[in-house]
Structure 1
Amino acid sequence: MTNQLSPKIPSCTWSRPIGLGWDKPYTVRYASNIDDGPWHGMPLGGFGAGCIGRSSRGDFNLWHIDGGEHTFKNIPACQFSVFESNSTSSQAYALSTQAPDDGTLKAWQWYPTLPATQGTGNYHALYPRSWFVYENIFQAQLTCEQFSPIWAGNYQETSYPVAIFLWNAHNPTDAPITLSIMLTWQNMVGWFTNALKSPEVRVRDDGSPVYEYQPRWGESQGNYNQIVENPQQFGCVLGRVGSDALQEGDGTWCIATVKHPQVEVFHHSRWNPDGTGDEVWQSFAKDGSLPNYIDANPVAEGEQLGAAMATPAAGIALRFTLQPGETLEIPFVLAWDLPITEFAAGVDYYRRYTDFFDKSGNNAWAIASTALQEYQSWRSQIQAWQKPILDREDLPNWFKMALFNELYDLTSGGTLWSAASELDPIGQFAVLECLDYRWYESLDVRLYGSFALLMLFPELEKSVMRAFARAIPQSDDTPRIIGYYMTIKAESPIAVRKIAGATPHDLGAPNEHVWQKTNYTSYQDCNLWKDLGSDFVLQVYRDFLLTGADDVEFLADCWDAIVQTLDYLKTFDLDGDGIPENSGAPDQTFDDWRLQGVSAYCGGLWLAALESAIAISDILLTYQTGDTALAAQKSTYETWLQQSLPIYQEKLWNGQYYKLDSESGSDVVMADQLCGQFYARLLDLPDIVPSDRALSALKTVYEACFLKFCNGELGAANGVRPDGSPENPKATHPLEVWTGINFGLAAFLVQMGMKDEAFKLTQAVVQQIYDNGLQFRTPEAITADGTFRASTYLRAMAIWGIYLVIN
C-alpha cells in the first residue's frame, strides 16, 4: 500500500524503514565517550527551550530538557497509539517497535516490524520537519508529520518549547473505516535538574574535565494532571503542586488537540505508567475510546503518573466511520514550560521563550494553544525558508538532506538561549562543543561550525562573539592540572585558568556560570593556544561582512578585544620574525598533535587575522577620523603583516604543499594547512599565499588525505604522508576524519574551482554519517575502524560553509 494522498514529503529527506536496525553501526572509540547506539531521530523543541527526540522505531528517547545535560532513555508511556476497525475486525497498536524492557505496559500491543522487502512504513527527516509514514498494517493511509516552529531569521517562535504532530488519515478503500489516535504522556515535572547542586569536577581518563549529572528521574511526588479546554481546543496540563519559589525543573507540560465537528475527544487524566497500562488500553483497543476519567489529585510519594487523550481521527460518534476516499487532518501538540536553567547552585537564567509568555512556569497550555492556532502558518514559514534551496537543481539531494539535518545541533546541542536584557536585547546564546566535551561555543570549533548560525540567525551569532569580546580582558587565576599530560603519563604543569588578554577557548560549562566563567576545558592550557586569538578576529570581521557590512557598532564593541588578543598572541613570536611559533605542545584545535615553530595552520590564520584587523581599522577610521591610537594600531598590524608574509613562504613552502611546521621535519600533508587562505578569500582580503601554490597544496591534500586514504571512501584524514600512509600509525588526530574539517576543506575546494572534488569529498563523509547510525549525533571524528569520537559535535555545521561559497 502506498501513501499517495499523504502530505507531500520532500524528495531529499533522510529516510529509514520504521524499526529497521543497523548491521554494523559505528561504535565509540573511547569507552569514556557517550555511545547511545544508532536509534536517534530528529529532535523537537525550540532553541534553548530543551528538546526531545523520537527515533525511527517510534520511541521518544532523547531528553535534553535540562540545558547542557544529556539523558537518553525510552519512556514507553510517552507514545502515540492508533486504533482501527472496519465491519469485520479491529486492531490497535502503540506506534513504537520497541516494547518496554522493564515489564511495564504488558497490556499494550506494539507496532510490528515486517521483513525489509515488505516493511511497515518509513521514517523521513528534513530538519526541522520529520514524518512517519505507516504502511502494510492499517487499512487507512496514515502519516504523522512532526515539527517545531524553527525557520531562518525568526527570533521568537524558534525559541518555543513545543512540538506539533500533524496527523493525516485517508481511507483508500471502498468500505468505511473507524480510526482513533491516542497520545499518552508521562508527567515529568521536576525530573530535569541535577540532584547534585555542586558536583565535583574530576579529570576523566581522556583528560577532559567532567562532573556527575543525576536528574531527579521518577521523582513525581506532588505531580498532578488536569483537563483544560476552550471552545476550540482540548488539552491536559501536567503540573506539580507549587512550591514557594520556582526552581529548575519546575513548571508544566501539556498535551493538546483541536475540537472538530467530526471528532469526539476522550480522555483519561490519571493512570499508572509503571503498571500493565490496562486502564487505558482496555477501552482503547476495544473501540478507540477512553473512559473520560478525571482525577486531578497530586501523586503521593512513590507513585508515577501519566495522562492520555484519544482522538478519533474521523467521526461524529465514538465509532464514526471514515468514508471511502475521505481524508482528515488532526493536529496534536506537546508543549512544556520549564522556564529556569540553573548552572551552578543559585545561578539561574530564564529561557528566551519567557520573553513572549511569562516566567511563571504555568504556560504550557498557553503555548500549546498558540501552536494549535498557528501551526499551519508556522509550517508555511518553514517551507518558504527551505524552498529556494530544495528547488535548486545544481545541488544533489544528499547534500540538501545533510545541509538541513545538520542543523539538528542548534536544537539538541545542549543549547542555551537566555531571556532578553538591556545588555543583550535578544538574549545570550550558546551551543555545546559536544556531549562529551560539555562546554559552550569552543572558539576553534566554531571557526567552522558557526556558518549555520551566521547565515540563518546572524543576531545570535553576533551575541556569541560579543560574549567572547567581553571575556578577553578578564582573568581567572584559579590553578588547574592540564589533563593532556595525564593521558601521556607525564607530569602535568599547573596552569591558571584564564590570562587577561588571552582569547578564551570556550564560554564555560553548564555546571558553573556560562558566559561569565570562561575557559572551562583543562585538557590543554588554552592560554598557550596559537589559533584562538586569530579565530576571534576572523569571526568578528566575517560576521560584520556577511551580515550586510553595516553593523559598525558590532565592530566597535569588539575592537578593544581585538587589540588585546593580537597583542597577546604576538608575545609568542619569540624569534621576532613576525609570526607566533607553536611550542611543541598541542596548542591549537588539533589538540593531540604537536606542532613546532611556525606552522601552516596557525601561521596562516595569523596572517588572515592581521588582514582582517587592518580592514576593521579602516572601517572604524571612516567613523572615527583623527583617532591617532586607532591609526597607530593599523600601522602596527601592517608592519607585522609585511614582515610575516615572506617568512610564511620561506619557512613552509616545499614546492608542492605547505609543510606542517618549520621545525619538526615532518613531511605530513595536513588537510587543513591553508585554513587561513580560505578565510582570506572568503572575506575578500588579499591572498596570504600565491593562488598557484594554494591550488597545488589543495590538490596534494585531495590526493593524499582523501583519495589515497581508505580509497576515498571515508573522507580526508587530518594528516598523512604524500603517499597516503601514516607518519605514525598510533597517532590519534592525524588519522581521524573530522567531519567539520572535511566540510571546511570542501568549501575551500569550491572556492578554488574544484566543485566536483568538493562534492565527492562531502558525499563520502555524509554517507558515512547517515548510512551507519550516526544521524542526529554527528561526531567530531570517524576512523577507518568504524569508530567515532565526540558525538553531537558543533563543527559539523560547517557544511553551511560549503553552501555559502557555492552561492
Structure 2
Amino acid sequence: MKRQQPSVNIPASAWSRSIGRGWEKPYTVRYASNLDDGPWHGMPLGGFGAGCIGRSSRGDFNLWHIDGGEHVFQTIPGCQFSVFEQLGTQTQAYALSTEAANGSLSTWNWYPASQEGQSTGTYSALYPRSWFVYENVLKANLTCEQFSPIVADNYQETSYPIAIFEWTAHNPTDQPITLSVMLTWENMTGWFTNSLKSPNVQMRDDGSSFYDYQPRMGESTGNFNTLTGDEQRIGVVMGSDAEEPLEGEGQWAIATLLNSYLWEVFYDTRWNPSGDGSEVWRSFAKDGSLCDRDDETPAKAGEQIGSAIAVRFTLKPGQTLKIPFILSWDFPVTEFAAGVNYFRRYTDFFGRTGRNAWTIARTALKHYRTWHEKILTWQQPIVDRDDLPDWFKMALFNELYILTDGGSLWSAADERDPVGQFAVLECLDYRWYESLDVRLYGSFGLLMLWSKLEKSVIRAFARSIPTSDERTRVIGYYYTLSAERNCEATGAESQMAIRKVAGATPHDLGAPNEHVWEKTNYTSYQDCNLWKDLGADFVLQVYRDYVLTGANDIEFLIECWDAIVETLHYLKTFDLDNDGIPENSGAPDQTFDDWRLQGVSAYCGGLWIAALEAAIAISQILITNHDSSSIHESVAMFQTWLDQSRAIYQETLWNGQYYRLDSQSGSDVVMVDQLCGQFYARLLGLPDVVPQECAESALKTVYDACFVKFNQFVRNQGSEIQNCSIGAANGVRPDGSPENPNATHPLEVWTGINFGLAAFLVQMGMTAEAMTLTEAVVRQIYDNGLQFRTPEAITATATFRASHYLRAMAIWAIYGTLSDR
C-alpha cells in the first residue's frame, strides 16, 4: 500500500471508512413511516441556513437540503468528480463514485469499491472537514479535502453557500505522471422548491404530523450555463432567466484557478447528464481534456443540461500539487407558506438578486486558505488534547453536522435581529423547529460555539409566549388509540385541542410549510399546552445562556423577563392541590411523550424547582440593574412556591435510593433523566434541587440499572446486539428489566439523553462512568451506518427512530463539564 503523502494532514480523530465499503447489517428504522435513507451518508457541505449538499463515503453527491427545512436524498450522477491518469503509454479514467449511474452515463468508468482485504481508499470526516484518499488504483497519491467555512463565533462566512474541494496530487514514482481532475455539475436551478404550495397537514401511523413535499426535480426548461472568469479564475454559472428570485430560483457555479505555468484548464458548458455522457467522457478518458465548448442555449422542455471543468497537469517524480475547485450556489429566498418569504443570512453580504453565484465562488477562491486556517485555529486545541480519546473528539465535532444538515434556517439581519433569526429542525421526521424540550440538552453546541444564534432562538420563544392561536387540531397520540383506551388511560374526552394558549411556552417555533418564528406549536402529537416541562425549560435556558456567555448581557434578561413571569404563572395553574408544585396529568405531558406520568414527577418537578431558582437569580440581577416594583412582587411569589415545592419534592419522591418516577403511578422504574433539574442547578451555580448524598445515590442507581443491568438484560434476552452495550434505557426497574416489555420510550436508548446523563456523571465526579456510557452510544452511531443522521432513539433490536435528530448535539454538554473540572 502506498504511503499517504505528508502534505495532507488528516487528524487521527476523524471518522474513517473505506471508500465504497458497505455495511453488512446497518441499523434500520423502527417504524416504516419514519425516514430511512440507508447508511450512505457523509458530512454535509454548506453554510448554516444556506442549504447544503452531502457526499457519501462511496463518492456520490446524494443529499440535497437546498430548500430550507426540506429533504431530498438521491444520487444525481452528473454531479461528480472524475480523474484521468497517464503514466507512460498507460491511461485510466474513473468517475470517482463507486455507485454507477442507473440509466445514464453508460460510457463512464466508475471507481472500484473497496473489498475485504483490498482498500481502494479511505473517506474521513471531522466536521466541517472531510477527505477522500484514493489508494491502490491510481499510480499517483490523490487526496480531496472538502470543507465549508464553518468557524466558531463567526457570523458571516459560516453562512456562505460554498463547498471547497482542495485536491492534493503527489507523484511517488520515478516517472512523470499526467493527471486531470474534472468536476461536472447539473444545472438544477428551479428544482428545490415545493410544487405544492402550503400543503395540507396529514398524520402518520405513529400519530406525528407531516405534509407532502414534491420538489421540481428534473424541471430544467429555460435553464442555461454561462462561461465566466477573469485573469486568475474561470468558472461556469448555471442559472435561468427568472427576473426576480423566488424559492428555488437562482444560480449554481463551479470554478477553479487559472495557472498557465502549472496546469491547463478545459471546459464544456453544455452536455447532457441524462444521456450516455460520451460528449464529455470521450475526450476526458482519452487525454484528460474537454472540448472547450461555450454554449448558452437554454434547455428545452424535458431536457437537462450540465457543465464541466477539468484541470490537467503533469507531476515530476516526487512533485506535489494542490488545486482548488469551488462549488457555490445562490438561492436567496426561503419560502414557508405560499407568499411567506425570507432572505437568507448570506444575502447580507452578497445581495438578494439570486445572480451572485460567481461572486461567491470568486470570494472562495480568494479566501479559502484563510478560512481553512481559521477552522484549524478553532479545532486544533481540542484535537490536540491528550486527555480526550479520539472517538470522543470525532463525535464532538461530527455531531455539529446538524447545524448544516438539519434543515437549518438563518434569516437576513434587521434592526430587531442584528444577526438574523436562526432555527434547526427537531429532525426530518418531526419537521418543526427548535423543539424546546429537545434543545434543553441539544443546544449546548450552538450555545458554546455560536452564542448569538442561540440567544436569537431564545428571544423567539420569549416573543411567542404571550401569543395565542385558537385554531384546533387533532392530537395524534389519541388518534392512534381506541376511544376506549384513550378515555381509560388519560381521561381525555376529545381528540382535539387548541393550538397555542396565551402564556404557555410553545413546544416549537413552527414548521417550514407555515411561518417559522411566528406560527408556533406545530407539533400535534400531544397537546403541548399541557406539558409540564416546557415553561421550566425556557427559564433554565434563558439563565443558562446568560451565565455561560459571560454573565453580562443584561439586555437579554430584560427581553426575556416578562415571558419568564408569564410562563411560570401559567405552569403554576397545573398545581391543582396548591402545594407549590405542578402535577403531571396522567397523559404524556413532557418530552417523553409516550410515557404517562401521574402527580408530582421527579423529572418535571426537579425542572420546576431549578427554574424557580433561576427566575429568582434573574430577578436579583434585574433589580440591581433595572429596578422595578413588579420584579419584587414576582420574586416574592416565586420564593413562596419554591419553599413549598422543595419539601414536597423530597418528601414525596425520595425512596432512600433514588427518586420515584412520580407520586401516583406506584411505579418502581428508575428514570434515566430523573435529576435533569439538579444537573442544571449545579451547571448554573444555583442551590441544589436535592441533597448531594441523594443525588449521588440516585445517579449511581441510574447508571447501574439503566445502563449496566439493562444491557445485561438485553444480552440475556438474545438481542441482535450481543457484543457491546447500546447505552442507557430511559426507564427500567432496578434490576434492569422492563416494567412493560411493550413500552416504547422507556426501553429506547435516546442518544441526546445519554449524553446529558454523561454530562451529569462528569459533573458529579463519575468521569470514568460517563466516558464508558458515551463511548457505547458513539459506537452505536458510527459503527452501524447512522453517521451524519444520528437518531433520537436506538433499540436493542438494532433499529432506530427519528434520524437527523437535534438532541444528540448534547455531547457538547459533556465537553463543557469536562473542561470546567
Alignment of 1:355-504 (within 5 A): 355-490=348-483, 492-504=494-506
Deviations 1:400-459 (A, max 9, x none): 000000000000000000000111010000000000000000000000000000000000
Corresponding residue for residue 637 of structure 2 = 636
Counterparts of 1:360 and 1:165 in 2: how far apart (Å)? 26
Is 1:623 the counterpart of 2:608? The answer is: no
Deviations 1:485-504 (A, max 9, x none): 12222364321000000000
Query: Does the 8 Å CA contact 2:226/2:295 hold for their aligned counterparts?
Result: yes
How far the C-alpha of 1:246 sits from its partner, in A, is 1.9
Counterparts of 1:115 and 1:658 in 2: how far apart (Å)? 52
Deviations 1:242-276 (A, max 9, x none): 23x32100000000000112111101110100100
Deviations 1:606-638 (A, max 9, x none): 00000000000000000133x221111111111
Query: Does the 8 Å CA contact 2:19/2:114 hold for their aligned counterparts?
Result: no
Is 1:545 the counterpart of 2:557? The answer is: no
Amino acid paired to 1:124: S
Counterparts of 2:248 and 2:191 in 1: how far apart (Å)? 6
Corresponding residue for residue 576 of structure 2 = 574
Corresponding residue for residue 508 of structure 1 = 510
Alignment of 1:134-149 (within 5 A): 134-149=134-149
Q: 1:611 aligns with which of 610, 613, 621?
A: 613
Query: Does the 8 Å CA contact 1:555/1:616 hold for their aligned counterparts?
Result: yes
How far the C-alpha of 1:6 sits from its partner, in A, is 4.0
Is 1:750 the counterpart of 2:792? The answer is: no
Alignment of 1:611-690 (within 5 A): 611-625=613-627, 627-690=628-691
Corresponding residue for residue 721 of structure 2 = none
Q: 2:790 aligns with which of 778, 789, 804?
A: 778
Amino acid paired to 2:258: K
Counterparts of 1:451 and 1:121 in 2: how far apart (Å)? 35
Corresponding residue for residue 253 of structure 1 = 252
Counterparts of 1:479 and 1:90 in 2: how far apart (Å)? 67
Is 1:522 the counterpart of 2:515? The answer is: no
Corresponding residue for residue 801 of structure 2 = 789
Counterparts of 1:495 and 1:486 in 2: how far apart (Å)? 12
Is 1:66 the counterpart of 2:67? The answer is: yes
Q: What's the secondary structure of 2:48's corresponding residue?
A: coil
Amino acid paired to 2:586: G
Counterparts of 1:255 and 1:739 in 2: how far apart (Å)? 38
Alignment size in residue pairs: 797
Query: Does the 8 Å CA contact 2:21/2:115 hold for their aligned counterparts?
Result: no
Q: 2:811 aligns with which of 793, 799, 802?
A: 799
Counterparts of 2:229 and 2:540 in 1: how far apart (Å)? 53
How far the C-alpha of 1:562 sits from its partner, in A, is 0.1
Query: Does the 8 Å CA contact 1:234/1:257 hold for their aligned counterparts?
Result: yes
What are structure 2's unaligned runs of at least 5 residues? 487-493, 713-723
Corresponding residue for residue 772 of structure 2 = 760
Counterparts of 1:338 and 1:629 in 2: how far apart (Å)? 47
Counterparts of 1:100 and 1:30 in 2: how far apart (Å)? 30
Counterparts of 1:119 and 1:488 in 2: how far apart (Å)? 51
Counterparts of 1:8 and 1:40 in 2: how far apart (Å)? 23
Counterparts of 1:114 and 1:396 in 2: how far apart (Å)? 28
Q: What's the secondary structure of 1:554's corresponding residue?
A: helix
Amino acid paired to 2:438: V
Query: Does the 8 Å CA contact 2:5/2:170 hold for their aligned counterparts?
Result: no
Corresponding residue for residue 491 of structure 2 = none
Counterparts of 1:583 and 1:417 in 2: how far apart (Å)? 37
How far the C-alpha of 1:115 sits from its partner, in A, is 2.5
Q: What's the secondary structure of 1:402's corresponding residue?
A: helix
Q: 2:321 aligns with which of 328, 331, 337?
A: 328
Counterparts of 2:6 and 2:139 in 1: how far apart (Å)? 14
Corresponding residue for residue 749 of structure 2 = 737
Counterparts of 1:745 and 1:412 in 2: how far apart (Å)? 25
Corresponding residue for residue 233 of structure 1 = 233
Amino acid paired to 2:664: E
Alignment of 1:529-540 (within 5 A): 529-540=531-542
Counterparts of 1:506 and 1:749 in 2: how far apart (Å)? 29
Deviations 1:527-559 (A, max 9, x none): 000000000000000000000100000000000
Corresponding residue for residue 273 of structure 2 = 273
Q: 1:728 aligns with which of 713, 733, 740?
A: 740
TM-score (norm. length: structure 2):
0.97
Corresponding residue for residue 295 of structure 2 = 295
Q: 2:729 aligns with which of 705, 717, 725?
A: 717
Query: Does the 8 Å CA contact 2:245/2:331 hold for their aligned counterparts?
Result: no
What are structure 1's unaligned runs of at least 5 residues? 315-320
Corresponding residue for residue 341 of structure 2 = 348
Q: What's the secondary structure of 1:407's corresponding residue?
A: helix
Alignment of 1:23-172 (within 5 A): 23-101=24-102, 103-172=103-172
Counterparts of 2:763 and 2:472 in 1: how far apart (Å)? 44
Which segment is superposed worse, 726-735 or 636-645? 636-645
Counterparts of 2:31 and 2:115 in 1: how far apart (Å)? 34
Corresponding residue for residue 719 of structure 2 = none
Query: Does the 8 Å CA contact 2:188/2:220 hold for their aligned counterparts?
Result: yes
How far the C-alpha of 1:116 sits from its partner, in A, is 2.7
Corresponding residue for residue 716 of structure 2 = none
Is 1:562 the counterpart of 2:574? The answer is: no
Counterparts of 1:482 and 1:648 in 2: how far apart (Å)? 31
Query: Does the 8 Å CA contact 1:91/1:285 hold for their aligned counterparts?
Result: yes
Q: What's the secondary structure of 1:708's corresponding residue?
A: helix
Counterparts of 1:63 and 1:695 in 2: how far apart (Å)? 46
Deviations 1:684-736 (A, max 9, x none): 00101000100000000000000011237000000000000000000000000
Counterparts of 1:3 and 1:41 in 2: how far apart (Å)? 22
Query: Does the 8 Å CA contact 1:6/1:142 hold for their aligned counterparts?
Result: no
TM-score (norm. length: structure 1):
0.98
CA 1:652/1:219 → structure 2, altered by over 3 Å: closer, same or farther? same
Counterparts of 2:136 and 2:745 in 1: how far apart (Å)? 47
Query: Does the 8 Å CA contact 1:93/1:110 hold for their aligned counterparts?
Result: yes
Which segment is superposed worse, 290-299 or 33-42? 290-299
Amino acid paired to 1:253: W
Query: Does the 8 Å CA contact 1:6/1:143 hold for their aligned counterparts?
Result: no
Alignment of 1:173-188 (within 5 A): 173-188=173-188
How far the C-alpha of 1:114 sits from its partner, in A, is 4.0
Q: What's the secondary structure of 1:506's corresponding residue?
A: coil
Query: Does the 8 Å CA contact 1:266/1:291 hold for their aligned counterparts?
Result: yes
Query: Does the 8 Å CA contact 2:479/2:495 hold for their aligned counterparts?
Result: no
CA RMSD of aligned residues (A): 0.7
Which segment is superposed worse, 109-118 or 171-180? 109-118
Amino acid paired to 2:257: V
Counterparts of 2:142 and 2:640 in 1: how far apart (Å)? 68
Counterparts of 1:39 and 1:291 in 2: how far apart (Å)? 34
Corresponding residue for residue 317 of structure 1 = none
